[in-house]
């Protein structure tokens, strides 16, 4: 007989064990697929944006330089020297420019609303720093009168960010700069 070789390579007592083992492997694979589908659906419902990480390094650097600027503005005397204020202002402007460049370079994970808030905050900060430079260069009562409104606007704009890094608290010292402007206005 040509077919006397057995094609059943598994002995009868191991058939049942083999069948249950394969069923267990299939069940584990099915559970892994279900878990994968769950995580995909969960990720679609709750997208993980990096709004909190948007410009975090730049905002930390800005917080340091703005704190130095505010401290030097607080120590400014009406008839005093403004050399230290000018150097701190230059550093603060450089950090703001670096943050603006980083924002324009883009952060793919941040939402468009967070980018818009960061853009508005940086523009408010630039207006505030420009006004300080204007008052230092040409002291006048009219220029000094705008400082409070610009400081409040910049602080509020940074407070609207997910992680403002202490920046809203650094917009002070404008009263001493206004006193300096009144003393030098003529």
pLDDT in tens, 110-162: 677 888 888 899 999 999 999 999 999 988 888 888 999 999 999 898 888 87
Residues 69 and 96 placed together within one structural domain of the fold: yes
Distance set, CA 178 to CA 44, 68, 76, 103, 149 (Å) = 52, 18, 10, 32, 12
Segment 1-50, tens digit of pLDDT: 455 555 555 566 677 778 888 899 999 999 999 998 888 887 767 654 45
Residue 93 belongs to domain spanning = 52-184
Residues 43 and 65 placed together within one structural domain of the fold: no
Residue 7, both tokens: 């094609």
Segment 49-63, tens digit of pLDDT: 455 566 778 888 888
Evaluate whether 172 touches 73 at the Cβ level (below 8 Å): yes
Residues 19 and 86 placed together within one structural domain of the fold: no
Residues 57 and 91 placed together within one structural domain of the fold: yes
Residues 74 and 153 placed together within one structural domain of the fold: yes
Residues 106 and 30 placed together within one structural domain of the fold: no
């Amino acid at each position: 007989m040509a077919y006397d070789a057995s094609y059943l390579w598994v002995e009868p007592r191991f058939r049942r064990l083999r069948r249950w083992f394969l069923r267990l492997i299939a069940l584990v694979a099915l559970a892994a697929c279900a878990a994968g589908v769950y995580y995909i659906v969960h990720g679609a419902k709750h997208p993980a944006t990096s709004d909190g990480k948007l410009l975090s390094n730049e905002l930390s650097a800005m917080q340091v330089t703005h704190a130095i600027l505010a401290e030097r503005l607080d120590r400014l005397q009406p008839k005093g020297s403004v050399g230290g204020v000018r150097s701190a202002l230059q550093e603060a402007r450089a950090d703001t420019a670096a943050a603006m460049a980083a924002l324009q370079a883009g952060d793919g994970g941040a939402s468009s609303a967070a980018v818009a808030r960061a853009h508005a905050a940086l523009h408010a900060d630039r207006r505030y720093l420009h006004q300080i430079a204007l008052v230092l260069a040409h002291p006048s009562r009219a220029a000094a009168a705008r400082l409070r409104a610009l400081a409040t606007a910049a602080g509020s704009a940074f407070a609207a960010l997910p992680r403002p890094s202490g920046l809203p608290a650094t917009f002070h010292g404008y009263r001493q700069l206004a006193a300096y402007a009144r003393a030098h206005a003529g």
